[in-house]
Amino acid sequence: MKAAGNATRESPTVRRFAILIFPRFPMMAFSAVIEPLRAANTLLGQPHYAWSIVASGEHAVTASSGIAITPDHSVETAPPADYIVVCSGGDADRLTEARPLTWIRKNLRKGSHIGSVADGAFYLARAGLLDGYACTLHWQSQPAFVEAFPHLSLQRRLYVIDRTRFTSAGGVAALDMMLELIAGHHGAGLARQVAEWFVHDRIRASADREKLQLRVRTGIQNDLVLDAVARMEGAVEQGESMAAIARHLRVSIGKLERSFKAELGVGPSDYYRRIRMQRARDLLQHSTMPVREIGLVCGYASFPAFVRAFRRTYNETPRKARK
């Protein structure tokens, strides 16, 4: 375990974090887990947190950036941890390694908290470790996650902490999640100090998180356009006419058209089609759902119409995109 100041002794109040890394893990999310713990130790003046890097084996694990990290322990030799954070890459939907799960379950029996960043929720969900808990993961993988685990409570938020489970959408969302955990351990004052340490504007109201996530993800600044896009993303399968969306937002279709073209350079109908096509591509890459079913869940009752729309957007057929 590592702690600020290279302390050799750990007080009884030290909380031990283990970051479980898999090949192609994201460095940003990885760092966003460890760095707040380091800053908290420095601000507290003594080590209240310790951390170690764990992998399935003893060899170095390469991140998606190409940087290789040598783990402190393999899952066979890792010491007990109070918090285990799964940090995996974009292929987490296909991750099935069994040995780390044995180690995770052993720690769970001792009262550990289990969480993930980026797409790590896929690994935990497939093992049944998120049953009965709310969770989240990277927005791009959410459609495939819903199809694979319809019984789970997926929250479209930057992070979710539900009792002994904690999950985040990755990137700087992991930092917000860690700030929330630190606040729970040592109070909101320390969490604010850690946020200031990293020049980070901490998200305060939970009601703002979903909208902020959409704004950060899309870069949309116009609130009307942002609200319309949120409505579109929530109605990909059943579809909704532009007239219905405008009516819901209490504006004219003309105002909606002008706002979209000013903000995004395209009309709302074209943007809606892009959303459906992105959803289709995500499902093709991160699920085993049949191609025809993907067309249906993306709002296309006609399979030929779905193929034409996909080809027009990506210059290839859905079946070729899956390969």
Residue 164, domain member (yes or no): yes
- Element holding 18 (H helix, E strand): strand 15-21
Looking at residue 235, its pLDDT comes to 86
Type of residue numbered 298: C
Q: Does residue 216 register a pLDDT over 60?
A: yes
> Between 35 and 9, whose confidence is greater?
35
Is residue 123 within 8 A of residue 116, CB to CB? The reply is yes
Domain of residue 291, CATH code: 1.10.10.60
What does 229-263 look like in DSSP terms, one character per residue? HHHHHTTTTT---HHHHHHHHTS-HHHHHHHHHHH
Helices (H), ranges, 128-237: 142-148, 172-186, 188-197, 206-218, 223-233
Q: Which of 148, 183, 210 is the last residue in one of the domains?
A: 210
| Candidate from 17-31, 232-246, 256-270 with smallest mean pLDDT | 232-246
Are residue 18 and residue 164 in the same domain, yes or no? yes
Looking at residue 54, its pLDDT comes to 98
- Element holding 50 (H helix, E strand): strand 49-55
Looking at residue 207, its pLDDT comes to 41
Looking at residue 143, its pLDDT comes to 84
Beta bridge pairs of residue 85: 19, 115
Are residue 231 and residue 107 in the same domain, yes or no? no
Looking at residue 262, its pLDDT comes to 96
Are residue 131 and residue 165 in the same domain, yes or no? yes
Residue 215, domain member (yes or no): no
Is residue 120 within 8 A of residue 167, CB to CB? The reply is yes
Residue 18, domain member (yes or no): yes
| Candidate from 10-14, 53-57, 79-83, 186-190 with smallest mean pLDDT | 10-14
Closest CA to 196 of 188, 185, 205, 184: 188
Q: What pTM did the predictor assign?
A: 0.74
Looking at residue 212, its pLDDT comes to 61
Q: Which of 210, 229, 249 is the last residue in one of the domains?
A: 210
Are residue 188 and residue 225 in the same domain, yes or no? no
Model confidence band, residue 4 (pLDDT cutoffs 50, 70, 90): very low
Q: How far apart are CA 175 and CA 195, in angstroms?
A: 9
Kindly state the tokens that stand for 94. 């296909």
Looking at residue 1, its pLDDT comes to 60
Are residue 169 and residue 227 in the same domain, yes or no? no
70-86 mean pLDDT: 97
Model confidence band, residue 289 (pLDDT cutoffs 50, 70, 90): confident
Query: pLDDT for 119-145, tens place per residue?
Result: 999 999 999 999 999 999 988 788 889
Is residue 86 within 8 A of residue 223, CB to CB? The reply is no
Domain of residue 94, CATH code: 3.40.50.880
Are residue 203 and residue 228 in the same domain, yes or no? no
Kindly state the tokens that stand for 167. 């999950």
Residue 66, domain member (yes or no): yes
Looking at residue 2, its pLDDT comes to 58
Q: Which of 210, 233, 248 is the last residue in one of the domains?
A: 210
Are residue 162 and residue 246 in the same domain, yes or no? no
98-120 mean pLDDT: 95
Structural domains of the chain, count: 2
240-247 mean pLDDT: 93
Q: Does residue 214 register a pLDDT over 90?
A: no
Q: How far apart are CA 290 and CA 207, in angstroms?
A: 36
Type of residue numbered 65: S
Looking at residue 322, its pLDDT comes to 85
84-95 b/e with 16+ CB inside 10 Å = b? bbbbbbbebbeb
Kindly state the tokens that stand for 9. 């002794």
Model confidence band, residue 7 (pLDDT cutoffs 50, 70, 90): very low
Closest CA to 81 of 16, 12, 155, 149: 16
Q: Does residue 311 register a pLDDT over 80?
A: yes
Are residue 129 and residue 184 in the same domain, yes or no? yes
Q: Does residue 317 register a pLDDT over 50?
A: yes
First to last CA, the chain: 42
Model confidence band, residue 5 (pLDDT cutoffs 50, 70, 90): very low
Are residue 57 and residue 157 in the same domain, yes or no? yes
Are residue 197 and residue 73 in the same domain, yes or no? yes
Are residue 117 and residue 234 in the same domain, yes or no? no
Are residue 301 and residue 186 in the same domain, yes or no? no
194-206 mean pLDDT: 73
Q: Does residue 76 register a pLDDT over 50?
A: yes
Residue 142, domain member (yes or no): yes
Q: Which residues span the domain enclosing 281?
A: 220-322
Closest CA to 15 of 78, 84, 109: 84
Q: Considering Cα of 36, then 41, then 44, then 45, what sign does the dihedral take?
A: negative
